[in-house]
Amino acid sequence: MSLKKNISILFLLLSLSSYTQQDVFTHQDTLRGTITKERAWWDLKHYDLHIQVDIPNKSLKGSNTIRYKVLGKNQLMQIDLQIPMKITGVSQDGNSLKYRRDGNAYYIRLHKEQILNSINEITIEYEGVPKISKNPPWDDGLSWSKDKNGIDFIATSCQGGGASIWWPCKDHMYDEPEEGVKISITAPKHLTSVANGRLKNTVENKDQTKTFVWEVINPINNYGINMNIGDYTHFSSKYKGINGNLDCDYYVLSYNLVKATKQFKQADKTLEAFEYWFGPYPFYEDSYKLVEVPYLGMEHQSSVTYGNGYKNGYRGYDLSGTGWGLKFDFIIVHESGHEWFANSITNVDIADMWIHEGFTAYSENLYLDYHISTEASNAYVIGTRKLIQNDKPIIGAYNVNNAGSSDMYYKGANMLHMLRQLVNDDEKWRSILKGINTEFYHQTVNTKHIENFLSKHIGIDLQSFFDQYLRTVKIPVLEYSIKDDHLEYRWTNIVKNFKMPIKIYIDKQIHWLTPSNSWQKLPVKNSNTALKVDPNFYINTENLTTK
Ligand SMILES: [Zn+2]
């Protein structure tokens, strides 16, 4: 791989987190990223979303009926819809309601008394020309493309910016509609519209349009909801998984059917590897799908979007530079991994997005471990270290919709890979990964939940370990010297109380050291012996031996 290719791939990864990268946060960032009091008093139950797509004008129009439970006393509701889209009407129980706009947030004044624990519905009408994505999926918005035959090929992608870029919703990750979402898309009748979950109905309308009704019955995160429209061909299979037969549906451009039938066989291999490591696929009821789109791909829940060109690797390249990255289709493996980490287990705040990307980047080498070997998996994750920037911490700023460094991917993966070494028992490690998926199944979580779970189940207090790798850009340095009959060693460049054990080879033997910030000694047989740190640890070394 040439350096230039390396840099361009790095750029693609980096640009994912740069969308909100800024030092000063605005009032709008706070409205978008905070659980405001106008959000906190009501709990999402269900969305019934209708979208009419006007292709010539690149505009959308429709409604969203939101079912919610009243958790506290309040008559003011925040609903998000980003400029230039606009809300054109709001009603509850047939009565129209007044609302006020503050940038991308709307405040709706409710007439009906909101009684504690009652279930209510509100209907929002909306329309407008949504932002067009300049670089999907890293820049949010609509992609209005054409396929090779000149037929319309349309998709949405909104990770980071949020779903409110194209439809009105409670646009904060903490709350998911736990009864799911119904998505009805109306577009010209020669096209097929694909969203999340299962196709429940199609209706041919009198005006040469066709409505496709899709339904998800599990909780779903807002950016996971998607709309894809094109000249699709459909094929399907059943995967015999842990929880029985999983319906797998594939929607690809008609002329890619042969390529897709071959390449998408990797979906079964992916599901097999991840059910082994993480436990059952989290959305059997909603099925599993791969849907071709005009951009690289995204982890849309039960509707994983695919644009990797039917090639292995990341657009044909191996991110690790070891050759192992060409043994699988990066988009099938990575985006499907997100069904466990992002869709089932979702971050409350995007500042903790490493929970999505760290575990999912790590899932790439677990795939290799399952299908090839632990050696291949080790080489792959170690190879991805060259993508680590250490430019800023992995965890971003809270409450302002701010993601941390793109290091959440491969520094996150290498951090988890080190935890596997510390556990030093792969069956236990696998039970911990499955345990996370049971404990936090279909929930929104923050970093603390994951840290506490891992400390408890690994049996080591990992607070300083996570502080070091998630909250600073400092990589621990093992300083050592070998003189006479002993090795002296200590950690430097560390946070307070950092005491990670480390596996080394010296005198042709394995030793586990527990360095701290003060010097410790280990007797050695031969003063000319060399020290080698197990390469699975992502640390630096400094040899201070004077000869
Ligand atoms: Zn990802």
SS3 readout for 121-185:
EEEEEEEECCCECCCCCCCCEEEEEECCCCCEEEEEECCCCCHHHCCCECCCCCCCCCCCEEEEE
Tens-binned pLDDT, residue by residue, of the chain (547 aa): 333 344 344 444 544 444 444 568 999 999 999 999 999 999 999 999 999 999 999 999 999 999 999 999 999 999 999 999 999 999 999 999 999 999 999 999 999 999 999 999 999 999 999 999 999 999 999 999 999 999 999 999 999 899 999 999 999 999 999 999 999 999 999 999 999 999 999 999 999 999 999 999 999 999 999 999 999 999 999 999 999 999 999 999 999 999 999 999 999 999 999 999 999 999 999 999 999 999 999 999 999 999 999 999 999 999 999 999 999 999 999 999 999 999 999 999 999 999 999 999 999 999 999 999 999 999 999 999 999 999 999 999 999 999 999 999 999 999 999 999 999 999 999 999 999 999 999 999 999 999 999 999 999 999 999 999 999 999 999 999 998 889 999 999 999 999 999 999 998 899 999 999 999 999 998 888 899 999 999 999 999 998 6
Q: How far does the centroid of ligand 1 lie from the alpha carbon of residue 310, in Å?
A: 18
Looking at the DSSP bridge assignments, the partners of residue 125 are 63, 89
- Residues whose CB is less than 8 angstroms from the CB of residue 11 and which lie 6 or more positions away in sequence, other chains included: none
Q: How far does the centroid of ligand 1 lie from the alpha carbon of residue 174, in Å?
A: 19
Q: How far does the centroid of ligand 1 lie from the alpha carbon of residue 167, in Å?
A: 23
Q: How far does the centroid of ligand 1 lie from the alpha carbon of residue 334, in Å?
A: 6
Q: How far does the centroid of ligand 1 lie from the alpha carbon of residue 363, in Å?
A: 10
What is the rounded CA–CA span in Å between residue 236 and residue 248? 6
Q: How far does the centroid of ligand 1 lie from the alpha carbon of residue 342, in Å?
A: 8
Q: How far does the centroid of ligand 1 lie from the alpha carbon of residue 18, in Å?
A: 14
What is the rounded CA–CA span in Å between residue 189 and residue 204? 7
Instruction: Give, as residue ranges, everything with CB less than 5 Å from ion ligand 1.
Output: 357, 360
Q: How far does the centroid of ligand 1 lie from the alpha carbon of residue 319, in Å?
A: 14
Query: Residue 18 corresponds to which tokens in the numbers above?
Result: 């740069």
Cα 437–Cα 443–Cα 449 angle in degrees, nearest 5: 75
Q: How far does the centroid of ligand 1 lie from the alpha carbon of residue 27, in Å?
A: 28
Going by the DSSP 8-state scheme, the letter that residue 322 receives in this structure is S
What is the rounded CA–CA span in Å between residue 264 and residue 269? 9
Residue 547, pLDDT score: 65
Q: How far does the centroid of ligand 1 lie from the alpha carbon of residue 306, in Å?
A: 13
Residue 23, pLDDT score: 65
The answer to whether the CB of 144 falls within 8 A of the CB of 230 is: no
Torsions phi, psi for 412 (to 5 deg): -60, -45
Residue 546, pLDDT score: 82
The answer to whether the CB of 154 falls within 8 A of the CB of 229 is: yes
Q: How far does the centroid of ligand 1 lie from the alpha carbon of residue 495, in Å?
A: 28
Enter the pTM of the model.
0.95
Q: Which amino acid is at 283?
A: F
Q: How far does the centroid of ligand 1 lie from the alpha carbon of residue 443, in Å?
A: 18
